[in-house]
Amino acid sequence: MTSQTFSKIDFIEFTLHANVLRFGDFITKAGRQSPYFFNTGLFTDGDAIAKLGRFYAQAILNAKTEFDMLYGPAYKGITLSASTAIALASFNRNVPFAFNRKEAKAHGEGGVTIGAPVSGRVLIVDDVISAGTSVRESIEVIESAGATPCGIVVSLDRQERGTGSESAIQEIERDFKLPVISLFCLDDLVDYLSQRPEMADKLGRVSQYRAEYGAG
């Protein structure tokens, strides 16, 4: 995967082969019974993390977002921001990155972040936005450092309603006026399944879930 061109189909198949995207019966944080499950924490070896970083880098470059550095919310954002920064460097886009501590360190170098000083236009790198809590906390850290959050990139947009009619990502875009780049969304997954007759049973369940809980 040396090209800078991003392919949603390639990414979906990558997550399926890695068993990161699974089908079955799962309970979400909102207490909903979901026919699919997605967790980037299941990328657990060097090759997988390297490929994941390249997919993120490709999606970022494809979106033509202007940014100066990457920021990853602990914990999953730590490996995501590091692997994405490495991949961007391989595409001749060398940028610094940082991530936060769960608790501020009072000794040694101190502070709430590790890595490069948080400054300029900061792109937040995360896995999935559920309630948007980690994104809101990240924005607070970035702004308290005197920097400017300029966007968010995530693996999956579940496109589910939150407490209202909008999804968590739609609420973030509305409240903070920040663009959110998703490597794929629920609609993309439905489109992918619809092109594969052997996955018709999965398509039916995922489509039903979207009809019941999908955001407007």
Catalytic residue numbers read 105, 107
Cα distances from 75 to residues 67, 103, 211, in angstroms, run 22, 12, 32
- Bridge partners, residue 149, by sequence: 122
Structure tokens at 69: 């550095």
Under 8 Å between Cβ of 76 and 200 = no
Is-cis flag, bond preceding 75, omega within 30? yes
Residue type, 81: S
- Of 23, 84, 25, 15, nearest to 54 by C-alpha is 84
Cα distances from 156 to residues 39, 56, 142, in angstroms, run 10, 11, 23
Concatenate the DSSP letters of all residues of 30-71 into one string: TS-EEEEEE-GGG--SHHHHHHHHHHHHHHHHHHT---SEEE
DSSP 45: S
- Degrees (nearest 5) of the Cα angle 182, 185, 191? 135
